[in-house]
Every structure is written in C-alpha cells, then in structure tokens.
Copies of this chain bind each other. A is one copy, B any other.
Amino acid sequence: MSRSDRFLRALRGEPVDTTPVWIMRQAGRYLPEYRATRAKAGDFLTLCKTPELACEVTLQPIDRLGVDAAILFSDILIPLEPMGMKLGFPNEGPRLEPVRDEAGVRALRVPNAEETMPFVMDAVRLIRRALDGKVPLIGFAGAPFTMLTYAVEGQTGKQFAETKKLLYTAPAVAHQLLQKLTDTVADYLAAQIRAGAQVVQLFDSWVGQLAPEDFRAFAAPYVKKLVDTLKPLGAPIIYFANDGGSLLADAARLGADALGVDWRTPLDEARARTGDGVTLQGNLDPCLLFGPVAEIERRADDVLARAGGKRHVFNLGHGILPGTPPEHAVALVEHVHRHRLS
C-alpha cells in the first residue's frame, strides 16, 4: 500500500498498512519556512489570497513531516468577505463588523464561490499539480454554527454571549443566518472539490459551547444539509466538533465519513458513543509536542491502542501550536508509522 492511499482508505473504513496521520495547522507558524513565506506575503490575508504562496505553505510540511495528507492553506473566515462582511486580521486575530439583527442578516449575500474566491480554487489546482498524487489534498470550511459565532461576535468569541443572545432571543434570525452560511459553505466546498480537493473537513471550532439541545437545534441540522449536498460529489467528509465530547453520539448521525475528536475524550470512549460506522480522527493533546519525545511516543501509543487499529486517522486533538519544535512533529509521524497494522 502506498502513502497516497492510506488516508482515503481509512476514511472509507478499509484496511490500511499503518495508521494515516496528518496534523491540524501542519502548515503554520511553528515552521520557520512558513514564517518566511508569511513575511514575504506581508499580511495573513494576502498569504491566503495568493495561490502560489498558499500552495507553497501547503506543501512545506508534506515531506518535512512525512504526513499522509495535505490540507489547503486558507482560513475559515474567507467566505464571510464575499458574503458582505469586511474582514481584517489586526494583531493575528480576526475582526469583523458584527451582524446581530434581521436587517444585517438580510443584507448578507450567498456568493458564488468560483467567482468571488477564485484564488482558493486556483490554489487547490496548483497544489494538486504539485503533489502529483503523493498524498491526497483536504479542502475545508468552517461549519455554519462556528461561522455564525464570528459573524455575530465580530471576533473570536470568549463567552459567546452575543451569539447565544441571538439564538435565544431571535432564533428565526439565527436560522436565517445559518441557512445563508450553509448555502455559502455548500457552494464553496463543492467548488473546492471540483477544483481537486479529494476530502473536505468541516471545522466546528466553537460548537462545544453548545448544550446538546442547542447543538441539535442550531448546528447539527445545517451540518447534515451540507453532508447531504456534498456527499454525491464523492469526496469523504470529516466533521470536527471541537470540545464536543457530549455531542459525539449526535454528530455520528450526520452522515460524515469521519469525526474529529479533541484530546479531552479518549478514542475508546468516543467510539463507544459513535458506534462503528464512522472513522475517528485524533486526538493527541497538541501541547504534548512540547514535551520529550519518549513521552510523545508513549502518549501516541495510548491513542493508537484506544483507537484499536480500525477506522482511525491519527491527528492532534487541536491545531499544532506556535513554538512547537518541528522535529517533535516529525518524531510523532514517524512513530505512528512504525506501528504496523498489516
């Protein structure tokens, strides 16, 4: 079996020679070569919007780390701009003019992705050509609820009080916004798949803020719609409900091929909640990569043992952190691959 097959096979539930592994934010600030390209680009949005540079950073970790998948370099907030929200990244964090009422939601557009974000599809095509079949390419987008939090908070939320005020005081407006975000993301991911993304991941970074009843009302139905729309296109779909241990049983019913699991829920417990019909992706605590290699290996073995060698894609339980020694990420990937499954 070749490196190019492992990841897709694991997503489909087929046997693999060794557990496929990739790392969330594997193209990121912990890599000096990323920081060099970022400096060349100037600001973060320019990096996202310049296909050659996005391609360059997407490829940087592939051979350096030996991972089994590439993931498009971009940002989940990119589609909010063509929807009509002004987006900036002062001091590394996103800032938007918040949308909190019916008029604001009504003013938002559902953009045509190919027309308004051609740089993303161009980057996908460039990356696919450069990868030349070495490993599959993952496209991605933010899940509707997480996109809503940014639209409503105008920034990365802390207690998400504005978001929940909207959900609880004006649920109809929240649903209108969620529907527009769903339509936007559906077109955006379909365009990524047509351009060459072989897998797509939906990042629901803040859905763990929701009680299960609210997840079922404001998040799950829209993820289900996205999965139903995208499924016929043939690319496996990974849904990552961050901090969503309590939501796993519900998440398993949405039709995604794989579920990301953060580091808080051991994979054997996650499996007990999801059943066997879905691949699990995760879930080493990214902070462990600051520690000594022997400890990284011991904890990776624990993750592998709990996954039991079936329907598992190794990953961190959250994005790799700035300051992580790149050689520790290399050691992790090598260690996972030394563990043979067949």
Residues of A within 8 A of B (CB): 159-161, 164-165, 167-169, 208, 210-214, 243, 245-246, 263-266, 269, 285, 287-288, 290-292, 295, 299, 302, 317, 321, 323
Contacts and interface: CB of A to CB of B under 8 A. Distances in A.
Contact of A290 (B169, B266, B291, B295): B169
Chain A's interface: helix, strand, loop or mixed, by majority?
helix
Contacts of A160: 287
Contacts of A263: 211
A188 to B, nearest CB: 28
Contacts of A269: 246
B246 A287 contact: no
Contact of A164 (B211, B246, B264, B290): B290
Contacts of A161: 287, 290, 321, 323
Contacts of A211: 263-264, 266, 285, 317
A215 to B, nearest CB: 9
Contact of A243 (B243, B266, B317): B243
A302 B168 contact: no
A214 B243 CA distance: 16
Nearest to A317: B211
A295 B214 CA distance: 12
Count of chain copies: 2
Contacts of A165: 287, 290-291
A291 B166 CA distance: 9
Contact of A287 (B168, B265, B291, B295): B168
A287 B164 contact: yes
A166 B244 CA distance: 26
Given A164-B290, A290-B169, A302-B213, A264 B321 contact: no
A264 B214 contact: no
Nearest to A292: B169
B266 A168 contact: no
Contacts of A285: 164, 211, 214
30 contacts: A159-B287, A159-B321, A161-B287, A161-B323, A164-B285, A164-B290, A165-B291, A167-B287, A168-B287, A168-B288, A168-B291, A168-B292, A168-B295, A169-B290, A169-B291, A208-B264, A210-B264, A211-B264, A211-B266, A211-B285, A211-B317, A212-B266, A213-B302, A214-B285, A243-B243, A243-B264, A245-B245, A245-B246, A246-B265, A246-B266
Contacts of A299: 213
A151 to B, nearest CB: 17
Contacts of A287: 159-161, 164-165, 167-168
A169 B293 CA distance: 10
Nearest to A164: B287
Nearest to A323: B161
A266 B247 CA distance: 11
Contacts of A243: 243, 264
A138 B197 CA distance: 56
A320 B154 CA distance: 22
